[in-house]
């Protein structure tokens, strides 16, 4: 999609300068070839950009999710149009050359090298058709085998570098006991996992804001050291899983290990404070 306009321009330039019946200088031929396809190319790019315009009207979460996509595609297509109309003709004049006498064409050195490499490969695969079909079939098999390993989530999980741990305690717990429980959790986390650099916790949340929490709910922001400083050979995901398993038997408290941005996104999309499946 991004290179279609440049391909159309270059192919038409190649057709015109290889046509012995068309007379004129190299620059005139390239200008003529570009003028022939100028209008279709511009309209084709504009149609693609117009398709994405409704995404700019989305509001809320949908707007924050899809507006960057629409903006990126629109700017990319506009850049491809500028490249096709300005840079591709200039490069065509440099690379595609016509001899001064007659209508025969003398290709530039880079094109001759590419053709010399490409032509024997094509000739060999045309002769060995079964080999070509076998290679295509092998690529299909590899794609089918790799498909189950591809991620299926809408937004892939990111390695944010920090963790957010949500603690849910008994509803009848007092503020002092909740503070003591969180403190014990922080100490055990710091002592057991040397990868942890710091822990900052909050118990409950004021009733003034839109996200009031009772005292039996706490959040701990866990800052991790850079992976190069970790003492154990363990991955980021394995570390989170090991933490969750270690605190399964912690008395009177349920834990949810996630990441700050991921938790905010899950809560914004669904209203839940748990990880999306």
pLDDT of residue 207 exceeding 70, the answer is: no
| Dist CA 237 CA 201 (whole Å) | 22
60-82 vs 26-52: helix crossing angle, rounded to 10:
170
According to DSSP, residue 225 is labeled P
Mean pLDDT over the full length of the chain = 83
Mean pLDDT within 244-250: 90
Higher pLDDT, 247 or 111: 247
Give CA torsion, residues 158, 159, 161, 167, to 10 deg. Answer: 70
Higher pLDDT, 48 or 96: 48
Which of 87-96, 164-173, 223-232 is the most confident on average?
164-173
pLDDT band for position 92 (cuts 50, 70, 90): confident
Q: What is the largest CA-CA distance in the chain?
A: 97
Question: Tokens in use for 23?
Answer: 């007379």
pTM: 0.51
Q: How far is CA 75 from CA 43, 208, 227, in A?
A: 16, 43, 36
What was the pLDDT predicted at 62?
Answer: 73
pLDDT band for position 276 (cuts 50, 70, 90): very low
């Amino acid at each position: 999609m991004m290179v279609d306009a440049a391909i159309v321009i270059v192919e038409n330039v190649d057709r015109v300068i290889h046509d012995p019946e068309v007379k004129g200088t190299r620059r005139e031929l390239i200008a003529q070839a570009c003028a022939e396809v100028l209008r279709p190319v511009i309209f084709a790019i504009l149609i693609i950009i117009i398709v994405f315009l409704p995404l700019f009207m989305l509001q809320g979460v949908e707007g924050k999710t899809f507006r960057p996509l629409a903006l990126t595609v629109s700017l990319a297509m506009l850049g491809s149009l500028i490249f096709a109309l300005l840079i591709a003709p200039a490069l065509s004049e440099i690379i595609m050359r016509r001899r001064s006498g007659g209508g025969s064409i003398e290709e530039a050195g880079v094109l001759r090298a590419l053709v010399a490499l490409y032509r024997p490969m094509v000739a060999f695969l045309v002769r060995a058709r079964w080999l070509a079909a076998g290679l295509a079939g092998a690529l299909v098999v590899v794609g089918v085998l790799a498909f189950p390993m591809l991620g299926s989530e809408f937004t892939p999980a990111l390695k944010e570098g920090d963790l957010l741990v949500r603690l849910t305690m008994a509803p009848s717990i007092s503020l002092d006991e909740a503070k003591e429980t969180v403190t014990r959790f922080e100490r055990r986390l710091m002592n057991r996992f040397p990868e942890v650099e710091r822990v900052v916790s909050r118990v409950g949340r004021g009733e003034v804001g839109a996200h009031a929490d009772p005292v039996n709910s706490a959040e701990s922001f866990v800052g991790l050291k850079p992976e190069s400083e970790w003492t154990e050979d363990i991955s980021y995901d394995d570390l989170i899983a090991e933490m969750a398993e270690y605190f399964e038997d912690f008395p009177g408290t349920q834990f949810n290990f996630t990441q700050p941005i991921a938790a905010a996104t899950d809560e914004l999309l669904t209203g839940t404070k748990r990880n999306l499946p």
